[in-house]
Chain A
Amino acid sequence: MSIQSRERKILLFLTIPIILTVTIFLIYNSRFMNKIKALVKKMPDQVKRLLIPVILIIAGFIVMRHLLVPSDFGKYGHYRASAVDEIASLEIKYIEHTVCEDCHDDIVQIKHMSYHRNVMCEVCHGPAAAHTQDPDGNQLPAPRERGYCPLCHEYLPSRPTGFPQIVTESHNPRRACISCHDAHDPKPPATPKECEACHAEIARTKALSHHIYLSCTRCHETPEDHKILPRDYHSEKLSNREFCGECHAENALAPKEIPRIDMATHGERYVCWQCHYPHLPEID
């Protein structure tokens, strides 16, 4: 990185005449020189001696600053501009999902219509950038053991309802997931017969209550297709108090042991499930 000759010429043409003019002006302007001389004379000897290291230090600092500050510092802001380029040219390990389709279009086509359409290939197969550079040399792993699918599909109470979860201890224990579910089209091998195949938590809770004698569909109107495409065909929830009154109202035609309330006065501003959890209404 040397100083360019064009800039050097500009500097020479600018600075040298100016310095010459100033020096000549100073020498011939004796009044100014006399003032300087008087100041220097008045300055005590020790201050004159002190000024030397001080000037040397300041000059040294300025020189070092010009030598050591990286040349591209301050170009975009208070930082070294080439840092942005250095960071932007780091190695990429995960390629975009669209790249897989170039070679594996058959699999991608199947996956595209399945429940895993939004799960990118690299989630299960790992970073694929090296594989695109050298497909045979860098083969990607395919998780086959039972431990991998539960990372997403294990039942955890913290997971949002509606996300397909299984309790791994009771769901076909020890069998590999892929023996029934094709990872690229993971619909269950058989349509679930009971609601509790997917809604196990609710079913277990309801099993502790009197409402065990109510089937899920008694309160939730559910189209048959919900078992096949649950997110596209939703089941209904109740919307009015009168439905609960069919069993729990004073004059309801229902078995005597069902607790009755006066529908007109018992919490008439609310729907029943704002206070009573319908799957286990016995608890507070």
Chain B
Amino acid sequence: MDIINIGRREFFERLVFSLLSLSFPGLLGTEEKDKEKNSIIEKGYDPKAHSWGMGIKIDRCIGCGRCANACKKENDVPPLPFYFRTWVERYIVFEGGEVVVDSPNGGVDGFKRRVLEKRMLRSFFVPKLCNQCANPPCVQVCPTGATFKTDDGVVLVDSEYCIGCEYCIQACPYGSRFLHPETRTAEKCTFCYHRIAKGMVPACVEVCPTQARVFGDRKGRASPLVRFMRMNKIRVLKPYLNTEPRVFYAGLDMEVK
């Protein structure tokens, strides 16, 4: 915001027209909106033509952690074990019902074998990330409009506008958000918006060696995501909260919360 650079003449212009706008609300201030360059649209990407989502096949995930690793590198996420845009969890269900969950450094360096206290019944890996909900509680509670949902279904954070109140972090049921220690604004997975706007896939999808992560448009026939949703029984995380997540899991276990 460059209010400091307005000259005196412009200040008075704005003052007068602001007061006049009391009688004609909305007339002023709109002329700049239409003149704004629609930059990503100009470059050929129309958000309205897409509706992004991600599919995750639990039975394919090997817990190698390449996704979490690539995400940190692609998005300059602090390389400390407290800040993750995506991470991998390991679930070990023992005979008798006890469950042990762990995520050492978010899975960024993979997983090591664990000494099992009891006999294991089943075990699997679950990649987690921002669910890019269609009914996002984080957007609902943001006091300033710094976090928002784009026309193509991605929830983004405007780091220039965020005041760092951390309400969105409290409101997210999935723990996908964190406060960046340097910018002191909220941050989370953006589906690598800077990549998908150019026709690429998110970094985590790009590097997954078993294609456990599927990215695509929720609409249309020729989308890998649509095929994923046709061929698998789908579950989402915490459906009872009605956040309408757009990250769909195939083979999700009941122990995953």
Contacts and interface: CB of A to CB of B under 8 A. Distances in A.
A70 B194 contact: no
Contact of A159 (B17, B63, B92, B200): B63
B206 A75 contact: no
A189 interface: no
A39 interface: no
A270 to B, nearest CB: 20
Nearest to B156: A87
Interface stretch (B66-74, B130-138, B169-177, B235-243): B66-74
A87 B194 contact: yes
A22 to B, nearest CB: 10
Contacts, number: 182
B123 A157 contact: yes
Contacts of B150: 76, 84
B62 A79 contact: no
B72 to A, nearest CB: 10
A62 B22 contact: yes
A18 B24 CA distance: 11
B33 A160 contact: no
Contacts of B147: 79
Interface of B: 1, 3, 6, 10, 13-15, 17-24, 27-29, 31-33, 35-36, 39-40, 45, 47, 59-66, 70, 73-75, 90-92, 109-111, 113, 116, 120, 123-125, 145-151, 156, 158, 160-161, 190, 193-195, 197-198, 200-201, 203, 206-207, 209-211
A127 B6 CA distance: 43
Instruction: Across the A-B interface, give the 4 residue pairs with the lowest CB-CB distance, nearest first.
Output: A83-B158, A79-B148, A158-B123, A90-B194
A158 B32 contact: no
A67 interface: yes
Interface residues of A, number: 61
Interface of A: 1-4, 7-8, 11, 14-15, 18, 59, 62-63, 66-94, 96-97, 118-120, 122-123, 126-127, 151-152, 154-160, 163
B62 A159 contact: yes
Contacts of B125: 158-159
A1 B194 CA distance: 28
A162 to B, nearest CB: 10
A123 B203 contact: no
21 contacts: A3-B14, A11-B27, A18-B23, A63-B15, A63-B18, A71-B33, A72-B36, A76-B150, A76-B151, A78-B145, A82-B39, A84-B193, A87-B156, A88-B39, A90-B194, A120-B207, A120-B209, A126-B73, A152-B64, A152-B110, A158-B123
B90 A118 contact: no
Taking each of B28, B92, B113, B147, which has the highest tally of chain A beta carbons within 10 Å of its own beta carbon? Answer: B113
A80 B63 CA distance: 38
Contacts of A91: 194
Nearest to A90: B194
B92 A158 contact: yes
A92 B111 contact: no
Nearest to B27: A11
Contact of B19 (A63, A97, A122): A63
B124 A158 contact: yes
A81 B27 CA distance: 19
A147 B146 CA distance: 43
Given A3-B17, A11-B27, A66-B14, A84 B1 contact: no
Taking each of A59, A97, A152, which has the highest tally of chain B beta carbons within 10 Å of its own beta carbon? Answer: A152
Taking each of B63, B109, B207, which has the highest tally of chain A beta carbons within 10 Å of its own beta carbon? Answer: B207
